[in-house]
């Protein structure tokens, strides 16, 4: 039985990866310090003899008993309000945490895949973004703590690949959504759905003409799974190229809820990218991967997940 370590296991993407690798017959070791994650995302796995969980901060020395075949490194705050609130931890998990995981991969002779992000392209001047684009990041801006940690993470990973011959994979994830996102994490999809369910106006930042391209979690997990098992070590974009303005997206969510809602415009956060859309030719060619779940279907599933929340859960303050 193959053994895989997944960091960030109690988070949104990490918990879905745990499910996928359990269903593929792996022995899964989850690790998380719960700074933005929640045990409820993986509690259904606790009775499973092929699942273990370590409550651990990966910026500290990481020890895992036994052999490891693979490591998926997904620990990191991912929502802008999270990494603005905990900027130093964000820098540390991307740098020190990644260093610990690469060291562990070396000792265990394991293949490691690290979760990078479309944010390495910053506020992109090339559109759609190909993997060759170097990006446009403000190192000292509010988002720099996340973007630069992820850029450093990629450099460190490549250095381990070339210097230590480590088997490495780099996925550049574009905005991904689905069940188990935190309702109050500030990202636009849970923010809008929460507002609709609480009967509040939707908050559009700026004029709403900025674009994003949203990928459903099942497609993202499939792309990551294929990349891990591929023999390709350079970065690969995984995302859905169906691009939409935030203004139009707000209207889609209002229609989905079936009730009329107001919209209020708020100040655009500093360095908020104006456009974002992946070029996925590399993933198509190398992994034979394309996203299968359209926004209408994915948003319906996501909305249905949050629809059953109690009033108390809907009103819960950000932790």
Question: Scanning residues 237 to 256, which ones bind ligand UDP (CB under 6 A)?
Answer: 246
Does residue 151 bind ligand UDP (CB under 6 A)?
no
Task: Write the CA distances from 1 to 21, 67, 111, 215, 296, integer angstroms.
Answer: 11, 11, 15, 31, 38
Query: Residues touching ligand NAD: how many (CB under 6 A)?
Result: 28
Does residue 282 bind ligand UDP (CB under 6 A)?
no
Q: Is 177 a catalytic residue?
A: no
Nearer to ligand UDP, 62 or 191 (CB): 191
DSSP-derived secondary structure for 195-247? HHHHTPPEEEETTS--EEE-EEHHHHHHHHHHHHHSS--S-EEES---EEEHH
- How many other β-carbons are positioned within 10 Å of the β-carbon of residue 282? 20
Does residue 121 bind ligand NAD (CB under 6 A)?
no
DSSP state at residue 129: B
The tokens for 106 are: 């070396």
Does residue 71 bind ligand UDP (CB under 6 A)?
no
The catalytic position among 83, 146, 160, 216 is 146
| CA gap 35, 20 in Å, rounded | 23
Q: How far is the CB of 115 from ligand NAD (least distance, A)?
A: 4
Pair 157, 274: CB distance under 8 Å: no
Peptide bond before residue 128 is cis, with ω within 30 degrees of 0: yes
| Closest to 48 (Cα-Cα) out of 18, 5, 78 | 18
Does residue 191 bind ligand UDP (CB under 6 A)?
yes
Please report where in the chains the tokens 């409820």 appear, as a residue. Answer: 40
Nearer to ligand UDP, 179 or 269 (CB): 269
Q: Which residue in the set 36, 100, 129, 213 belongs to the binding site for ligand NAD (CB under 6 A)?
A: 36
Which listed option, ligand NAD, ligand UDP, none, makes contact with residue 191 (CB within 5 to 8 Å by class)?
Answer: ligand UDP
Does residue 188 bind ligand NAD (CB under 6 A)?
no
The tokens for 319 are: 């932790």
Please report where in the chains the tokens 């992994």 appear, as a residue. Answer: 287
Question: Scanning residues 203 to 222, which ones bind ligand UDP (CB under 6 A)?
Answer: 203-205, 210, 212
Q: Which residue in the set 11, 124, 178, 223 belongs to the binding site for ligand NAD (CB under 6 A)?
A: 11
Does residue 175 bind ligand UDP (CB under 6 A)?
yes
Which listed option, ligand NAD, ligand UDP, none, makes contact with residue 11 (CB within 5 to 8 Å by class)?
Answer: ligand NAD
Helices (H), the chain: 12-23, 80-85, 87-92, 98-108, 144-164, 188-198, 217-229, 246-257, 281-287, 295-307, 311-315
Question: Scanning residues 77 to 136, which ones bind ligand UDP (CB under 6 A)?
Answer: 80
Does residue 219 bind ligand NAD (CB under 6 A)?
no
CB under 8 Å to 292, separation ≥6 — which residues? 218, 219, 222
Which listed option, ligand NAD, ligand UDP, none, makes contact with residue 251 (CB within 5 to 8 Å by class)?
Answer: none
Pair 12, 182: CB distance under 8 Å: yes
Q: Which residue in the set 30, 80, 97, 128 belongs to the binding site for ligand NAD (CB under 6 A)?
A: 97
Q: Which residue in the set 59, 184, 211, 275 belongs to the binding site for ligand NAD (CB under 6 A)?
A: 59
Active-site annotation, residues: 146
Give contact residues for ligand UDP (rule: CB under 6 A).
80, 175, 186-188, 191, 203-205, 210, 212, 246, 269, 272
Give contact residues for ligand NAD (rule: CB under 6 A).
7-8, 10-14, 32-37, 57-59, 74-78, 93, 97, 115, 117, 173, 175-176
């Amino acid at each position: 039985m193959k053994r895989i370590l997944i960091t960030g296991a109690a988070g949104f993407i990490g918990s879905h990866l745990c499910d996928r690798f359990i269903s593929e017959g792996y022995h899964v070791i989850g690790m998380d310090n719960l700074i933005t994650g929640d045990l409820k995302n993986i509690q259904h796995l606790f009775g499973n003899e092929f699942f273990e969980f370590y409550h651990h901060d990966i910026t500290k020395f990481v020890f895992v008993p036994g052999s490891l075949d693979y490591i998926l490194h997904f620990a990191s705050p991912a929502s802008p309000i999270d990494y603005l609130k905990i900027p130093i931890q964000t820098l540390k998990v991307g740098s020190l945490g990644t260093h610990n995981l690469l060291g562990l991969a070396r000792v265990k002779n394991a293949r490691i895949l690290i979760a990078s992000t479309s944010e390495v392209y910053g506020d992109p001047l090339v559109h759609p973004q190909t993997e060759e684009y170097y990006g446009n990041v403000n190192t000292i801006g509010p988002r720099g703590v996340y973007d630069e940690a992820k850029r450093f993470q990629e450099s460190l990973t490549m250095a381990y690949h070339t210097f230590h011959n480590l088997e490495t994979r780099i996925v550049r994830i574009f905005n991904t959504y689905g069940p188990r996102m935190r309702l109050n994490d500030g990202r636009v999809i849970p923010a809008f759905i929460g507002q609709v369910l609480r009967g509040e106006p939707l908050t559009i930042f700026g004029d709403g003409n900025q674009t994003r391209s949203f990928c459903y979690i099942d497609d993202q997990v499939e792309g990551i799974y294929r990349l891990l098992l591929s023999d390709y070590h350079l970065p690969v974009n995984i995302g859905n190229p169906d691009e939409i303005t935030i203004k139009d997206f707000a209207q889609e969510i209002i229609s989905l809820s079936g009730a009329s809602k107001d919209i209020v415009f708020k100040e655009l956060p500093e360095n908020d990218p104006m456009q974002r859309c992946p070029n996925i030719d590399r993933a198509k060619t190398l992994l034979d991967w394309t996203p299968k779940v359209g926004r209408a279907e994915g948003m319906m599933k996501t909305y249905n997940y949050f629809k059953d929340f109690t009033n108390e859960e809907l009103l819960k303050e950000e932790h």
